[in-house]
Chain A
Amino acid sequence: MRQLIIDSHAHLGPWPRFRVVDDNLTAALQLMDHLGISHAFVTHHAGLVGMLAEAERLSREAFRLSEGRIRSYLVFDPNRRVESLEIIRRCCNEPFFAGVKIHPAFHCTPADDPRYAPVWELANERKLVVLVHTWDRSIENPVQNYSFPGLLERYIDDSPDATVILGHAGGRYDGFLAASELAAAYANVYLDLTGDDFTRGRIEYFVHQISSSRVLFGTDMPWIDPRFPLGELLAADISDSDRAAILGENAVRIFHLRLVR
């Protein structure tokens, strides 16, 4: 079995909170080549900060310039519902489109808020992938409380035909447990391994609790360097077949990738 490494959760574009060494597409593609990552599924930062049309344009451009290796999630912004829903509806059958991105913490809107209802209805109707930023409850950063995995249960329960990725798998320990519980309860729920908490034993726990078939490799670049999550996964005490599933086989399946070998 030949293996591709597929990044299910990354970003493109500048971010002001810290110094990003190089946020351009060429740098990302070069690093992907260096590490053997064939495809990346990204959210352009422009979409997170309300520049929805610009994010659509840049996402199309990334797909074209990367010759199809970069596909994009388009953001559903609960504070710009009409515009974001219109863009997602219009783009969701196009080749550059990977799925919908929801970020409850960044948009200061709890994951169970009724404002998300239209995009979940659309995702269920069109069988879309929905990537949700999830995190643990936090005293230091309370806006992350809006992204606690358990808040998503109502929408997941109502959306059996959507494919739901819990980004960062809950972010920290209690979030990891809550995300695992959701994935164990709903067959359309996946966990991705992005984030900065490479807790020893967490991958083994996910594989044991919900099976490797619903865990996805992701990098979160250009925030996190891909070599951290890849090193974590390669060093994890799991079988070769589990590792292959997480590295890329699961992503091939849920994103319907047609691979040229």
Chain B
Amino acid sequence: MQPSAVDVKQRFDEARAAFRFFDSNVWIGPWQGPAFSRAETIDELLSVLKAAYVEEALVSHFASVHYDPWEGNRMLLDALEDRDGLWGAIVLTPDGPRGCSVEDCIRSAVAGKARAARMFPRSHSFSIQQWQSGPLLHILEQCKLPLILHHAELSWSEIRSVCLAHPGLPVVVEGTGKKILYDNRVFYQALADCPNLHLELHNLVNYLGLEDLVARFGPERLIYGSYVPVRQPGAAQMIVTHARISEEAGHRIAGDNFRRLISEVVCT
């Protein structure tokens, strides 16, 4: 007997609640693109996350990408203050803000609720390579502050170089802005070469890809993220709730892997 549509939906919701998702890819502020449904304030965002049974989230501010990194970071950290279960991912450039060293800014942000960093080499017109970003990457590595990169912002060769040059730095790659589906021949090799490389799930849509990645590399380097509010969080949740992997592996991917990464941040 087939289950009804109501049953299928209910089972999915129960699984989502049971997996205690930590969403590593959440944004507030004004998104540049068109949208059918916007959620720009922290309260609107919380409503979306609650409906998706997300327990904790790592949040960035669109203004950090499209307006000013440091002003966006300030707005982000202000918005997250006193919000349980929400952590910040600040956006960094090698030159840093006026009147403050990058290192001081990072330490100050981590003293608050920042638990990860993002860099946008293409959009912010700098090189991720050692000759420009090496000192900044060294600080992040010292702090074990996870670095999140969009694959459309740099090449896989550059991502691999960052990982190899900074083996203590957790690097998480998100497939935002361009199909990451087509890159799997490349990122399989990069995962094999770089134990500190992680992949975020929201656009990791390859058919049977999750089971294959877990079988080859284990579940530890797969991170649930949704790109809320732009994307529907349920899409990437179901690849976890209905994965043909162990329950323990599923829980790691749903949130425990990222909880572990941010618990290891040491930036005193």
Contact = CB atoms under 8 A, between A and B. Distances in A.
A231 B235 contact: yes
Contact of A2 (B2, B209, B241, B242): B2
Contact of B235 (A19, A221, A222, A235): A235
A34 B235 contact: no
Contacts of A236: 232, 234
Interface stretch (A65-73, A184-192, A196-204): A196-204
Given A3-B2, A200-B230, A18 B183 contact: yes
A236 B51 CA distance: 10
B25 to A, nearest CB: 13
B238 A36 contact: no
Given A36-B8, A223-B181, A234-B234, 9 more contacts: A20-B207, A22-B208, A198-B231, A224-B205, A224-B206, A230-B238, A231-B238, A231-B241, A234-B8
Interface residues of A, number: 50
A236 to B, nearest CB: 7
Interface string B179-217: 101111100100000000000000101111111100000
Interface of A: 1-5, 17-22, 27, 31, 34-36, 38, 140, 173-174, 196, 198-205, 221-232, 234-237, 240, 243-244, 247, 261
B34 interface: yes
26 contacts: A1-B5, A3-B8, A4-B2, A18-B181, A20-B207, A21-B207, A27-B208, A31-B208, A35-B242, A196-B179, A196-B203, A199-B36, A199-B231, A200-B37, A200-B232, A202-B36, A203-B232, A221-B207, A224-B205, A225-B208, A227-B238, A228-B235, A231-B238, A234-B234, A234-B238, A236-B234
A222 B208 CA distance: 8
Nearest to B229: A200
A244 B229 contact: no
A34 B232 CA distance: 22
B33 A173 contact: yes
B6 A21 contact: no
B100 interface: no
Interface string B7-20: 11100110000000
Contacts of A21: 206-209, 211-212
B233 A235 contact: yes
A93 to B, nearest CB: 29
